[in-house]
Chains A and B, each alone.
Chain A
Amino acid sequence: MLVIKNLHANIEGKEILKGIDLEIKAGEVHAIMGPNGSGKSTLANVLAGNEGYEITGGEIIFEGKNLLELDPEDRAREGVFLAFQYPVEIPGVSNATFLKTAINEVRKYHNQPELTPKEFLDLMKEKSKILGMEEALISRSVNVGFSGGEKKRNEIFQLLMLNPKFALLDETDSGLDIDALKIVSNGVNIFKAKDKAVLVVTHYQRLLNYIQPDFVHVLYKGKIIKSGGKELALELEDKGYDWIKPELVESEIV
């Protein structure tokens, strides 16, 4: 589904991603872990097409298409969804208006008819129940006055509403208490399917107890320095990152 080859990206002239290679197949769940500042959000934003980042090399192929040639809205319409680490507020625009517009834009792109108001409402009801969202939250302005946890929940609600092919979750677990974490993970697990893929970005392993990854990658200073199965996450939880940091590993050898 997604192939990333030797991806390099800068922000404000500083190189953040220094050659990322990653392949994600349909049906798989990947996790990217790594300490703060290692470039996880940068990778997520670059995949989604945030123009604040400059791509200086490499390729991103999504379902056979060169993602780097697509505008962010077209990437979204192709099925790339980013659950933001810091969802923004849009005052005066209700969640419902926003989602209806978004869904219909995606449908238009695929030559599908718009949802009727009833279809849309039924969909809202079904998906909001999964996330335990109160109706009040849905009629309120997008993320305005939402608590940190409610914002994250709203991101996964949008994921289920839009039902894309590929979900990128950037620190979706941060700011969630244990009950909310279960609800949100359950939402992601409902999304998971043979023809979908998930990339979970986190620096805690606790989320991975609920969303079981097939592969875990460690991102450090803009490079993937280790990949493995889900047991790698547990190992990281135990031992921290130091034992795999290249400069430390090297100094031990010396």
Chain B
Amino acid sequence: MNEIKENLENQEELSEDMKVLDELTSTEYKWGFVTEIESETAPKGLNEDVIRLISSKKNEPEWMTEWRLKAFRYWQKMEEPHWPNVNYPPIDYQDISYYSAPKQKPQLNSLDEVDPELLKTFEKLGIPLNEQKLLTGVAVDAVFDSVSVTTTFKETLKEKGIIFCSISEAIQEHPDLVKKYLGSVVPYTDNYFAALNSAVFSDGSFVFIPKGVRCPMELSTYFRINAQETGQFERTLIIAEESSYVSYLEGCTAPIRDNNQLHAAVVELVALDDAEIKYSTVQNWYPGDKEGKGGIYNFVTKRGACRGKNSKISWTQVETGSAITWKYPSCILQGDNSIGEFYSVAVTNNLQQADTGTKMIHLGKNTRSTIISKGISAGRSNNSYRGLVKIGKNAEGARNFTQCDSMLMSDQCGAHTFPYIEVENESAKVEHEATTSKVGADQLFYLNQRGIATEDAVNMIVNGFCKEVFNELPMEFAVEAQKLLAISLEGSVG
């Protein structure tokens, strides 16, 4: 009772400024349109027949079908986990369709053969697939519902021996690589959603950078959920051989739907000796409306293995969308002197919930990891950082630095930090710093007093707060991320 009263009083205390801003919160999700396109969608429900159907639609070899079935049988024996700090009604896994594909010719030889509606969709999303129109220096794989629509700049990359294609294509064309690495970082036994993904994954990207090659352009995948009541289960696998380098970007959006849609992806990264992988995500799945209706459940397993000595994996993520985000991009630092990095901005507004963070598992000697997490909560949302730093007993000289900052934009939102530290080697150094701040009335007044209006002032303060993370993103994407942040938080101070 007392709590409720306090809350009401707090609400009354909102200054005029903030009320005006609150009204502005109604900004609509701008990527919420639906593409009218003929699709082939599997009936709802999950059983071995559905898995065989997916596998046969994709013309998969027998070993792949078997792998999926093993994963499915394992999944059936598992229980959905409920330890994250998020709440949602039970998911009915039999009420989801696990495959939806736009009807089109099975083999695409050039962009001219792609359904123009699809091309238009990606143009509208700001991702032109026409190579002439693309940002030079970015190759794109576009995934629409369950299938990869097209991959650009394939030929340019091929000259360097780089493989960048959909995972379905890789299963056909490069089965040895797929067999060797698929499930080697995230086995299907890993967790409930990884097992589900292994059974039903639809599409995703495959990247292979051969020994000694620096990938000359950013590789990018754009995921779009379109169909209703389908889940999206992408699978991404990136392999960087010795002394190679690649920077990979992923973006995602979905139409506005009243029901929740499940997105359970798995991403696996493998870096061999002296290789470096930079993986950046700008996640903007539909977050649901102001009352929390609809939105994507984003339950994702992302993990990188620094297998070789001196290898490096950096995760950078800007999470603004989804009704619920639940992901911990992690690094297994196996090789001596290997480096893991995690830079994250997670924004929650209205009734969004996010439980996100990372795991840094130090196994090799002199392994180093850095974690910079910026959580921004607005509205009545809930934002949790959850991170594990584990130093194994052979990880002589391992070091970790963790900085977790939370910013509160209202009196009704929550920010939580759950750091777990396990150290089995005495020589390790683990540092953890955490701060919580509020966008202060005094900061806003200071900027107002210099002629900057409140919304711009909020953006300025929030962007400043996220700067260390934005600095890690490739230029154009940093600009995108800033805009996205502004839109997600429009009018949310209160």
Q: Quick check: A105 and B453 within 8 Å, CB to CB? A: yes
| B96 at interface by CB-CB < 8 Å | no
Add 18 more A-B contacts to A76-B449, A93-B467, A141-B464 (CB < 8 A).
Answer: A49-B449, A51-B445, A52-B445, A73-B451, A73-B452, A73-B453, A90-B464, A92-B463, A92-B467, A97-B460, A98-B447, A101-B456, A101-B460, A102-B447, A102-B452, A105-B450, A105-B452, A105-B456
- A residues contacting B by CB (< 8 A) are 48-52, 71-73, 75-77, 81-82, 84, 87-88, 90-93, 97-99, 101-103, 105-106, 109, 141, 158, 162
Q: Shortest beta-carbon distance, B435 to chain A, in Å?
A: 10
**Chain A neighbourhood of B175, CB < 8 A:** none
Q: Shortest beta-carbon distance, A214 to chain B, in Å?
A: 25
The answer for the CA separation of A92 and B435 in the assembled complex, in Å, is 15
**Chain B neighbourhood of A82, CB < 8 A:** 449
The answer for the CA separation of A84 and B442 in the assembled complex, in Å, is 11
Q: Quick check: B460 and A90 within 8 Å, CB to CB? A: yes
Q: Quick check: B17 and A88 within 8 Å, CB to CB? A: no
The answer for the CA separation of A206 and B465 in the assembled complex, in Å, is 39
Question: Mind listing 22 A-B residue pairs with CB under 8 Å?
Answer: A49-B448, A51-B17, A52-B15, A71-B448, A73-B448, A75-B449, A77-B451, A84-B446, A90-B464, A92-B465, A92-B467, A92-B468, A98-B450, A98-B460, A99-B450, A101-B452, A102-B450, A105-B450, A105-B456, A158-B450, A162-B450, A162-B451
| Per-residue A-contact encoding for B5-32, CB less than 8 Å = 1, 0 else | 0000000000111000000000000000
Q: Quick check: A72 and B445 within 8 Å, CB to CB? A: yes
| B466 at interface by CB-CB < 8 Å | yes
**Chain B neighbourhood of A72, CB < 8 A:** 445, 448-449
Q: Quick check: A52 and B449 within 8 Å, CB to CB? A: no
**Chain B neighbourhood of A71, CB < 8 A:** 448, 453
Q: Quick check: B447 and A109 within 8 Å, CB to CB? A: no
| Per-residue A-contact encoding for B461-479, CB less than 8 Å = 1, 0 else | 1011111100000000000
The answer for the CA separation of A132 and B17 in the assembled complex, in Å, is 36
| B172 at interface by CB-CB < 8 Å | no
Q: Quick check: B441 and A52 within 8 Å, CB to CB? A: yes
| Nearest 9 A/B pairs, CB to CB | A92-B464, A92-B467, A93-B464, A102-B450, A72-B448, A76-B451, A105-B451, A106-B451, A73-B448
**Chain B neighbourhood of A88, CB < 8 A:** 440, 442-443, 446
**Chain B neighbourhood of A76, CB < 8 A:** 448-451
**Chain B neighbourhood of A84, CB < 8 A:** 446, 449
Q: Shortest beta-carbon distance, A41 to chain B, in Å?
A: 12
Main secondary structure of the interface of B (DSSP, over half): helix
Q: Quick check: B453 and A51 within 8 Å, CB to CB? A: no
**Chain A neighbourhood of B454, CB < 8 A:** 73
| Per-residue A-contact encoding for B422-442, CB less than 8 Å = 1, 0 else | 000000000000000000111
**Chain A neighbourhood of B441, CB < 8 A:** 51-52
The answer for the CA separation of A103 and B31 in the assembled complex, in Å, is 34
Q: Shortest beta-carbon distance, B321 to chain A, in Å?
A: 23
The answer for the CA separation of A73 and B452 in the assembled complex, in Å, is 6
> Which of A81, A90, A97, A162 has the most chain B CB atoms inside 10 A of its CB?
A90
**Chain B neighbourhood of A90, CB < 8 A:** 443, 446-447, 460-461, 464
**Chain B neighbourhood of A93, CB < 8 A:** 460-461, 463-464, 467
The answer for the CA separation of A244 and B449 in the assembled complex, in Å, is 34
Q: Shortest beta-carbon distance, B117 to chain A, in Å?
A: 40
The answer for the CA separation of A93 and B470 in the assembled complex, in Å, is 12
Q: Shortest beta-carbon distance, A205 to chain B, in Å?
A: 27
The answer for the CA separation of A109 and B450 in the assembled complex, in Å, is 12
**Chain A neighbourhood of B16, CB < 8 A:** 51
**Chain A neighbourhood of B453, CB < 8 A:** 71, 73, 105
Chain B residue with the shortest CB-CB distance to A71: B448
The answer for the CA separation of A73 and B448 in the assembled complex, in Å, is 4
The answer for the CA separation of A90 and B456 in the assembled complex, in Å, is 13
The answer for the CA separation of A106 and B467 in the assembled complex, in Å, is 25
Q: Quick check: B443 and A109 within 8 Å, CB to CB? A: no
**Chain A neighbourhood of B443, CB < 8 A:** 88, 90
Chain B residue with the shortest CB-CB distance to A94: B464
Q: Shortest beta-carbon distance, B355 to chain A, in Å?
A: 25
Q: Shortest beta-carbon distance, B318 to chain A, in Å?
A: 15
